[in-house]
Structure 1
Amino acid sequence: MRAPFNTLFGRLFGLLLVAIVLAHVLAFFWFHHYGPPPPPRAAFVEQPDGSLTPLRKAPRPWFGGPVVPLTFQFISLIIAAWYGAKLLSRPIQRLSAAAERLSVDLDSPPLVESGPREARQAASTFNLMQKRIREQVSQRARMLGAVSHDLRTPLSRLKLRLEQIEDPKLQGQMRQDLDDMIGMLDATLSYLHEQRTSETRHWLDVQALVESLSENAQDQGRDVQFSGTCAPLQVQPMALRSCLNNLIDNALRYAGTARVELADSRGALVIRVIDHGPGIAADKREAVFEPFFRLEGSRNRNSGGVGLGMTIAREAVERLGGHLSLEETPGGGLTAVMWLPRV
């Protein structure tokens, strides 16, 4: 007997049916006890002098009218509608929260397969999708990792055989090409590692992190300055460090100097990495976030890098729930703007 009410439709239909029946039963009960009495058979009262006086009806109480039963019906239907809306929205909210967790962490726990039949089917389908996505990502990472690893051996042999080439110019060009290929393999493996890594959030003193990165760069003879203050923020520490390192290295590579500015507020922390280099045209600023994309001219492969630094930086910021964009620096150059919400 419980099978028909094990679905979302059955539960909603049963709930509304019970509310309607209950409201009508209450209305019938109320009218039966407090409704207008039937008209009396003797409508007149005989007086002592023999005259007849019309019988006065007893006044009906204020709650004997239709107001109270209609109120019962109205309240019953409101309660049924409210509970029915909760029945409808609860599975959708659970599915939405699970999808949001999945977008941040592929290893997030699966949905609990409980509730009405439709909710269980949706949870089961979602869990199956999550499992297949994990398998595909893992398979792709293993395949690319194996290819990258297997390519190292012939590349290393080629570097050794370069010593037998007598032409110094040709030898230098070939060595540069091999170094570029090895650099691309290393960057690919690093990119795949960033995608696979699921890091929990911790409270971090972002100001201390920026100061540390700036001081480390200055100790290496590089010009990195910082300004501003901020309160601790709940982030993925390694992801944020990787993002800042990539942005600072990018500024130093193309401009020789970098400045990091912190702007804190109640809702978000904004970090700007500013350089005064050649900059990037407005129509190319989104393209640089694509994997292995390199610009022509001063910001190209000859300046270093293989085109993954900005991709890794944006994905790290998005895992933190923020966003990363590029703007033109006043006076010339490029400014990377990182917006991190305070949640």
Structure 2
Amino acid sequence: MKLPSSSRVLMRWLKRRLPSTLFGRSLLIIVLPVALMQIAVTYVFFDAHWQTVTSRLSEGLAGDIAWAVESYREDPTPESFAKLSQRAEESMGLSIALQPGRSLPARRRDPPAALSPFFAPIDRSLDRALSERIDAPYWFDTTRYPAYVDIRVAVRGGVMRVLAPRDRAFATQGHIFVLWMTVATVLLTAIAILFIRNQVRAIERLANAAEAFGRGADVPAYKPQGAREVRRAATAFLHMRGRIQRHIEQRTALLASVSHDLRTPLTRLKLALALSEPTARTAEMKRDLVEMEHMIDEYLAFARGEGGEAAEAAPLQPLIEAVSEGARRAGAQVTVDVAPELVVTARPNALKRALSNLVMNAASHGEQVEVTARRGPGGIEIIVDDNGPGIPEDQYEEAFKAFARLDASRNQNTKGVGLGLAIARDVARGHGGDIVLGRSPLGGLRATVRLPG
């Protein structure tokens, strides 16, 4: 069922604001229900219990004040009021004073803005109880004194002022319940954070080990940890890593054997041609042998891939300078702009071969080549520009396919077999990066190598 557009917008808004990490989402799953439950329990407590108790206390206090007012009305003599005041003090905890000639305050004193939500239910409850029990004008203040409630009732000749203990007007222990609920929430949240942190750490270590293995770095100290499912995934990763390493070792050994077996007859043929009479035909055969040897080198390099080389910290400047020197010997004008402090964790020989393919490809199609290395937001970028004919934008991805041969403008190197860019991208991705093509400011092709670091 397709959601309305407003619902889709709301869902996208929520997704953008929800945590993106497993730790954040797990914490939200645990803490949010606990917090909602605590809020609901607190609300029910105040709505069903605290307010009920406060109403009963307010009604009892209003009844005592009504008794005091009625008793004074029946006998308004000083002697009678003294007895009434003493009895109220001893039996009810009320402090009653008569203020002759006084009148009630014009308006009720408002509580501070920060305390208004707390005192509003108290004022309403006490106001309702007093209006039901007393038939004379009255005034009260619940905020002036920390431990008392000030209640004044208009009587004949003045005002009767009653100071009642605060716990006579409402339940004063509600904040303890809120405090305990808050402490319980904080304690549960802390336990949840510790528990989730331990579980997520095992997943992070597995992800780091997989990422390091993808870049060719070995992680011998990694051991499965965490929950049963995480340990199963980690064990499966270790088994997979072992199988891949055995496959690489077997392929390397096989390629070494194939390389030896192929070069042996090629060497015999080259020796036979060297001893033959120099003719036009033997010269053509020598060129064919050179081209065949170059093609075999290309095929073996593409099939060898990683070659089992270990990753290490390699400074970029000497590596790029060595690659560029080969392009200069081929006749290209190469300029290099690389900061000496740039260091990348990589397999030096594999990275050198990838950069050599890019720089030599640029040199074979253009007369001017620029190589720039810089640190970008996602890692290190190595940019190779040339002023050659370039490649149409719709053929950028096609150029990375093995054995791909593009149009004649980028197909002048008769020795090539269409593996240079494929090998370079394979090496870059093996290091956790990538290669993208674009239009060069020099007018030709721009190849950008992005590596983590």
TM-score normalised over the length of structure 1: 0.69
Instruction: List per-residue Cα deviations over 1:38-64 (Å, max 9, x = no partner).
Output: x9xxxx9xx989978753488375576
Give 1:243's match in structure 2, choosing from 351, 354, 362.
Answer: 354
Change (3 A) 1:184 1:337: same
Deviations along 1:163-182, one digit per CA (max 9) or x if unpaired, are 9999x777666555544332
Aligned to 2:334, what secondary structure does the other structure show? strand
Q: CA deviation at 1:126?
A: 1.3
Alpha-carbon distance between aligned partners in 2 of 1:305 and 1:244, rounded to the nearest angstrom: 16
Kept in 2, the 8 Å contact 1:141–1:192? The answer is no
What is the match of residue 230 of structure 2?
119
Question: Displacement of 1:232 after TM fit?
Answer: 1.4
Alignment correspondent of 2:140: none
2:385 maps to 1:274: yes
Displacement after TM superposition at 1:327 (Å): 1.8
Match of residue 92, structure 2, among 55, 67, 75: 55
The whole-number CA distance in structure 1 between the counterparts of 2:386 and 2:209 is 40
Deviation digits for residues 177-210 of structure 1 (CA, Å, limit 9, x no counterpart)? 5443322322333345551243433252x34554
- 2:179 match: 68
Q: Take 1:189 and 1:209, find their aligned partners in 2: how far apart are those partners?
A: 23
Q: Distance in 2 between matches of 1:143 and 1:215?
A: 33
Q: 1:195 to 1:292 in 2, by over 3 A?
A: farther
* Matched ranges for 1:153-302 at <5 A: 153-157=264-268, 175-192=286-303, 194-202=305-313, 204=315, 206-207=316-317, 209-211=319-321, 213-214=323-324, 217-218=327-328, 220=329, 222-226=331-335, 228-235=337-344, 236=346, 237-262=348-373, 268-300=379-411
Cα 1:270–1:326 change in 2 (3 A) is: same
How many positions carry a matched residue from both structures? 310
Cα 1:270–1:297 shift into 2, 3 Å: same
Offset of residue 110 of structure 1: 5.9
Looking at structure 1, the residues matched to 367 and 334 of structure 2 have their Cα atoms a distance apart, in angstroms, of: 12
- Asked if 2 retains the 8 angstrom alpha-carbon contact of 1:259 and 1:275, the reply is yes
Match of 2:213 among 83, 92, 102: 102
How much has 1:222 moved relative to structure 2? 2.0
CA contact (8 A) 1:203 1:232 kept: no
1:72-87 to structure 2, matched below 5 A, reads: 72-87=183-198
Query: Quick one: which of 256, 269, 273 aligns to 1:145?
Result: 256
State the alpha-carbon separation in 1 of the partners of residues 357 and 364 from structure 2: 10
Larger Rg: 1 or 2? 2
Offset of 1:125 from its aligned partner? 1.5
- Once the 2 structures are TM-superposed, how far is the Cα of residue 114 of structure 1 from its aligned partner? 3.4
**Take 2:322 and 2:257, find their aligned partners in 1: how far apart are those partners?**
36
Q: Which runs of 5+ in 2 are unaligned?
A: 1-25, 39-49, 58-63, 65-81, 94-164
Looking at structure 2, the residues matched to 264 and 134 of structure 1 have their Cα atoms a distance apart, in angstroms, of: 32
- SS of equivalent residue, structure 2 residue 306: helix
Q: Output one character per residue of 1:226-249: Cα deviation in whole Å (capped at 9) or x when no partner.
A: 154525122134444333322221
Structure 1 range deviating more: 313-322 or 209-218: 209-218
Q: In the aligned structure 2, how far is the partner of 1:123 from the partner of 1:107?
A: 15
Structure 1 spans left out of the alignment, 5+ residues: 1-11, 25-34
Q: Find the residue that maps to 2:248 and give its secondary structure.
A: helix
Q: Deviations over 1:136-180 (max 9, x none)?
A: 2222333333233323334445556779999x7776665555443
* CA distance in structure 2 between the partners assigned to 1:175 and 1:214 by the alignment: 29
Whole-angstrom distance in 1 between the partners of 2:397 and 2:192: 47
CA contact (8 A) 1:155 1:178 kept: yes
CA RMSD of aligned residues (A): 4.4
Q: CA deviation at 1:224?
A: 2.4
Could you report, residue by residue, the CA deviation over 1:64-114 in whole angstroms, capped at 9, with x for unpaired residues? 642122112212321233233224422221221111011111643263133
Give the percent of matched residue pairs that are identical in Structure 1 and Structure 2: 34
**Letter of the aligned partner of 2:189 in structure 1?**
I
Q: Map 1:126-137 to 2 at 5 A.
A: 126-137=237-248
SS at match of 2:219: coil
